[in-house]
């Protein structure tokens, strides 16, 4: 018990989880998820699906969410580093439309718990990154929503080097801005 520490962010419900790492000359061991510890920390969600992606430097994935089947997510990086972002889309929230970003890496071993009704995305900082996440609902391909990664109304300060353009999927190039999202609700 007690194998994690939980740090609140400026957005209620969005928390940084740091596992206790047990290391010696052989390497290290850590529990990345223990239901008892998470419940004790106020995160009682039951996860039903694990996902993993691999991306190269400069790839930006997001900002994504599920419309009718929202998911809580627990995200982490097992190789490399990313700048991870969550945007509050909860109706009536005092932080609606605000974002929080953090570097997640294989080195710092931090995780981000993202509640339902947040948009999520990340930008790859290392040559390659492997990104893992647990979800509380299954992925529904026809239920996908998104917001433009560079929407000025949200104003995410991505750590993209001057003169570089992030590598986006065709789908991520087409998302509308935050105002469009709000108009469609």
Catalytic residue among 28, 64, 120, 139, which? Answer: 64
Per residue in 150-172, pLDDT (tens digit) is 999 999 999 999 999 999 999 99
Ordered domains of the chain (ranges, CATH):
46-184 (2.60.120.10)
Q: Is 133 a catalytic residue?
A: yes
Question: Residues 21-54: pLDDT tens digits?
Answer: 999 999 999 999 999 999 999 999 999 999 999 9
63 touches 121 (CB < 8 A): yes
For every residue of 36-64, DSSP letters joined together read HHHHHTT------EEEEEEEETTBEEEEE
Predicted confidence (pLDDT) per residue in 65-124, tens digit: 999 999 999 999 999 999 999 999 999 999 999 999 999 999 999 999 999 999 999 999
Catalytic (active site) residue 68: no
């Amino acid at each position: 018990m007690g194998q994690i520490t939980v740090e609140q962010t400026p957005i209620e419900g969005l928390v940084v989880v740091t596992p206790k790492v047990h290391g010696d000359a052989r390497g290290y061991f850590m529990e990345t998820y223990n239901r008892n510890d998470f419940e004790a920390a106020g995160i009682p969600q039951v996860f039903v699906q694990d996902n993993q992606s691999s991306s190269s430097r400069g790839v930006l994935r997001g900002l994504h969410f599920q419309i009718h089947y929202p998911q809580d997510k627990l995200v982490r990086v097992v190789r490399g580093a990313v700048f991870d972002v969550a945007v509050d889309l909860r109706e009536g929230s005092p932080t609606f439309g605000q974002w929080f970003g953090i570097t997640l890496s294989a080195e710092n071993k931090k995780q981000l718990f993202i509640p339902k009704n947040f948009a999520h995305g990340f930008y790859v900082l290392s040559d390659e990154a492997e990104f893992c996440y647990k979800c509380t609902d299954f992925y529904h391909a026809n239920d996908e929503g998104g917001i433009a990664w560079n929407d000025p109304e949200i104003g995410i300060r991505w750590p993209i080097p001057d003169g570089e353009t992030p590598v986006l999927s065709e789908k991520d190039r087409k998302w509308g801005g935050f105002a469009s999202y709000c108009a469609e609700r």
